[in-house]
Amino acid sequence: MIGRLNHVALAVPDLDAAAAQYRDALGADVGAPQELPEHGVRVVFITLPNTKIELLHPLGDDSPISGFLAKNPAGGMHHVCYEVDDIAAARDRLVAAGARALGDVKIGAHGKPVLFLHPKDFAGCLIELEEA
């Protein structure tokens, strides 16, 4: 069911500083910051030859990642995003198998449908699925 690794997301305490570090120290291809109020985050995508890195910082008072940063004030790996062909079928199959979907399918940063799965159901890793 899951296909390509679409991105690895890192929650960071300072989005501009982290973006500058990837651009200047690591020589990466760093995009411009994007605000995603519907997801409660400000993001910067970094394009690598084989996948992307998504830098995340909370946006607004009830960001879903504020708790994570409170527990990890220096930042840390937040989630991985796998591509699927049919996100509704993937959701139905996973929920039928006992996994918890976090909310329902929404449109993500790439304008594609995305769904999050509870980290406690996948060895402590928050998983995002994106319909390719």
Ligand X SMILES: CC[C@H](C(=O)O)C(=O)SCCNC(=O)CCNC(=O)[C@H](O)C(C)(C)COP(=O)(O)OP(=O)(O)OC[C@H]1O[C@@H](n2cnc3c(N)ncnc32)[C@H](O)[C@@H]1OP(=O)(O)O
Interface with ligand X (CB under 6 A), residue total 24
Residues in contact with 82: Cβ distance below 8 Å, sequence separation at least 6, in sequence order: 2, 3, 4, 5, 6, 127, 128, 129, 130
Taking alpha carbons only, the member of 17, 131, 115, 3 closest to residue 74 is 17
Show contacts with Co ion in window 56-85 (CB under 5 A).
81
| Alpha-carbon gap, residue 123 to 116, rounded angstroms | 14
Residue 99 per-residue DSSP state: P
Residue 128 makes contact with Co ion by CB under 5 A: yes
Show contacts with Co ion in window 88-127 (CB under 5 A).
none
Taking alpha carbons only, the member of 40, 41, 42 closest to residue 16 is 42
Shortest distance, CB of residue 57 to ligand X, whole angstroms?
Answer: 10
DSSP SS3 for 83: strand
- Give yes or no: 54 in active site: no
Residue 116 makes contact with ligand X by CB under 6 A: yes
> Among 35, 38, 54, 128, which one carries the catalytic annotation?
128
Residues that bind ligand X (CB under 6 A): 9, 36, 39, 41, 54, 56, 64-65, 67-68, 71, 78-79, 81, 102, 108-109, 114, 116, 119-120, 124, 126, 128
Residues that bind Co ion (CB under 5 A): 9, 54, 81, 128
